[in-house]
Amino acid sequence: MKRRLNPDSRIPWHYPVLLCLFIICTILSCGCVEEKSPEINKTITIGILLPLTGELAGRGNECLNGSILAIEEINKNGGIRSKEGQLLRYIIADSKGNATIGAMKTKEFILNHTVTALVGAYQSNVAIAATQIAEQYKTPFMVNTGISDVIIERGYSYTFRIIPTVDDYAHTKVEFLEYMNRRLINPIKTVALIYENTAFGTSAALAEHKFLKRGGFTIPIDTSYVAADVDNYLEEIRRTVREKPDAIFTTTYLKDGIIISRELKNAGFTGPVIDSGGGTISQAFIDALGPDAEGIYSVSEFVYSLPAVRDLNKRYYARFGVNLSGASAHTYQTILVLSDALERAASLENEDIRTALSETNITSDMDILIPDDYISFSPEGQNEYSRLTMMQVQNGSWTTVWPDAYAESTQATNPDKP
C-alpha cells in the first residue's frame, strides 16, 4: 500500500537554498583561496602560506607574486612532464603574520585540501610553527624566507630551506665591515644593534654578537623593539645614536625599517647602517624615505646583474608592474626547486617527494636565480651553498656593491663616502 504524502509535510522551497548557502559558507570558512583549475583531478596542489594582510602584507604579496609567476611558467611549459604533464594548482592562505594562525592554516591545507607540498611562510616565527605541523603530518614544507635557524635545527625530515642561515646573514655583515675597513681612513670599531623582537630579529642579533666579537668589534648598545609598536621606541633609537657607534646593524621589516631609518637620520647619525633585508630591499622603502634612503646598506639574497635574474625581472615586471625583490626572487626559486623534485620523485606520495627534495642538486646557471653555484640540501634540509651579497641605495635604487664579483658599483668602497 502506497503511503500518501501530506502536502503540508513537503520540504519548504527555501530549505535547499539554505542548505546550499550553508555548504558554501562552510567551504569558505576555511580561509583558503583556491586558484581555479578546470580539471582538479589532473593537478598537483601546492599550499602557499603568507602574511597577506596586516603590517607585512606588502612583502607577503611579493612572495605570492613570485609563486604565481613560477607556477604559471611551469604550467605553460608543460607542467610536471614525468607525471603525465600534471599542472600545478595553488591554494593561498593568509597567516596574518601570526604563528598560531599559520599553524592552523597549515593543518587545514593538509587535512581539508590534501596538498602535495607547502610553501611559506616569509616570517621565521610563522615558519617555525607551520613546519612543526607539516612534520607531524609528513608533508614537505619549502621555506621561502625565514632566517631563524630553529626552523632547520629540530631534526625534521620534511622541512627544506633555500634561503641562507642566520649565521650567513650575520657573517656577511661583519665580512663587509672588514672589507670596508681595508679601504677606510678611519676604520669601524664599534657597532650598535637595533632589531625587532620576534624570532627573526632576536636570532639575527645573537648571531651578530657572535661574529662581531670574533671580528674584534665592540657592541656599545643593543636595542630590541616591537615592530608593530616601533613609534614608542624612538627614544631608544636616539639613545643608540648618543652612544656614538661607528656603524649600526638593523634587523627590521618594512614599516619599522622606514621609521627607524628616518629617526637615525633625524638624530644625526652619519655612519653605515646595514640592514638584514627583512623589508628594506623594496622600492616602497626608498619611496617612503626619499633622499634619506641614500647610502643605506642591506644584505641581499639576489643580484639583478645575473643573466637569469635580468630575464626573470623583465617577465616579473611585465606581469606585476614592479621589479623583483629578494622575497619574490627567493619564492620563485623555491617553486622551481619544488618543481624539479616533483619531476624526479618516484611518485607523488609524500615520502617520495621528500626523498627527491633531499637529493636535489641543481647546477644550471639558468635555473639558479640567487647568487649560489649550486642548490643542494644538507641532512637538516638547509641549502648548503647559499650565499649573500651587499646592496646600497644609490641614486634612488638598490645597487649591488659587494662582493666584487657581483658589484654593479664601487661607490661603497670610497674612503670618503662609505
- Each of the 418 residues of the chain gets a pLDDT tens digit; together they read 434 434 444 444 444 444 444 433 443 344 566 554 445 558 999 999 999 999 899 999 999 999 999 999 999 999 999 999 999 999 999 999 999 999 999 999 999 999 999 999 999 999 999 999 999 999 999 999 998 999 999 999 999 999 999 999 999 999 999 999 998 889 999 999 999 999 999 999 999 999 999 999 999 999 999 988 998 889 999 999 999 999 999 999 999 999 999 999 999 999 999 999 888 988 889 999 999 999 999 999 888 888 888 899 999 999 999 988 888 999 999 999 999 999 999 999 999 999 999 999 998 777 788 777 789 999 999 999 888 999 999 999 999 999 988 888 776 654 444 4
Query: pTM of the prediction?
Result: 0.83
- Could you give the CA distance from residue 50 to residue 2 in angstroms, rounded to a whole number? 59
Asked if residue 253 lies in contact with residue 279, where contact means CB atoms within 8 angstroms, the answer is: yes
The single residue listed with the C-alpha cell 623594496 is 282
Predicted local confidence at residue 4, as pLDDT: 42
DSSP state of 83: G
Query: Which residue from 370, 339, 362 is spatially nearest to 140, judged by alpha carbons?
Result: 339
Strands 389-394 and 397-402, by their bridges, are antiparallel
Predicted local confidence at residue 303, as pLDDT: 86
Q: Where in the chain is the domain with CATH 3.40.50.2300?
A: 27-164+306-367, 167-300+389-413
Query: Which residue from 98, 96, 92 is spatially nearest to 119, judged by alpha carbons?
Result: 92
Spatial CB neighbours of 291, under 8 Å, sequence gap ≥ 6: none
* φ, ψ for residue 192, nearest 5 deg: -90, 155
Convert the pLDDT of each residue in 243-270 to its tens digit: 999 999 999 999 999 999 999 999 999 9
Neighbouring-strand partners of residue 34: 91
Predicted local confidence at residue 412, as pLDDT: 65
- Could you give the CA distance from residue 113 to residue 32 in angstroms, rounded to a whole number? 9
Predicted local confidence at residue 281, as pLDDT: 86
- At 309, which helix (H) or strand (E)? helix 307-320
Predicted local confidence at residue 415, as pLDDT: 44
Per DSSP, the residues of 212-248 read HHHTT-B---EEEE-GGGGGGGHHHHHHHHHT--SEE
- The total of other beta-carbon atoms located within 10 Å of residue 318's CB is 9
SS in 3 state form for 248-286? EEEECCHHHHHHHHHHHHHCCCCCCEEECCCCCCCHHHH
Query: Which residue from 300, 262, 304 is spatially nearest to 281, judged by alpha carbons?
Result: 300
3-state SS class at 401: strand
- Could you give the CA distance from residue 298 to residue 273 in angstroms, rounded to a whole number? 8
Per DSSP, the residues of 149-163 read GGGGSS--SSEEE-S
Predicted local confidence at residue 278, as pLDDT: 84
Per DSSP, the residues of 43-72 read EEEEEEEE--SSTTHHHHHHHHHHHHHHHH
Predicted local confidence at residue 38, as pLDDT: 40
Q: What is the assigned CATH class of domain 167-300+389-413?
A: alpha beta
Query: Span 27-164+306-367: which CATH code?
Result: 3.40.50.2300
- At 289, which helix (H) or strand (E)? helix 283-289
Predicted local confidence at residue 253, as pLDDT: 92
Convert the pLDDT of each residue in 356-376 to its tens digit: 999 999 987 777 887 777 899
Asked if residue 413 lies in contact with residue 183, where contact means CB atoms within 8 angstroms, the answer is: yes
DSSP state of 4: P
Strands 222-225 and 247-251, by their bridges, are unpaired
Number of residues that this document lists for the chain:
418
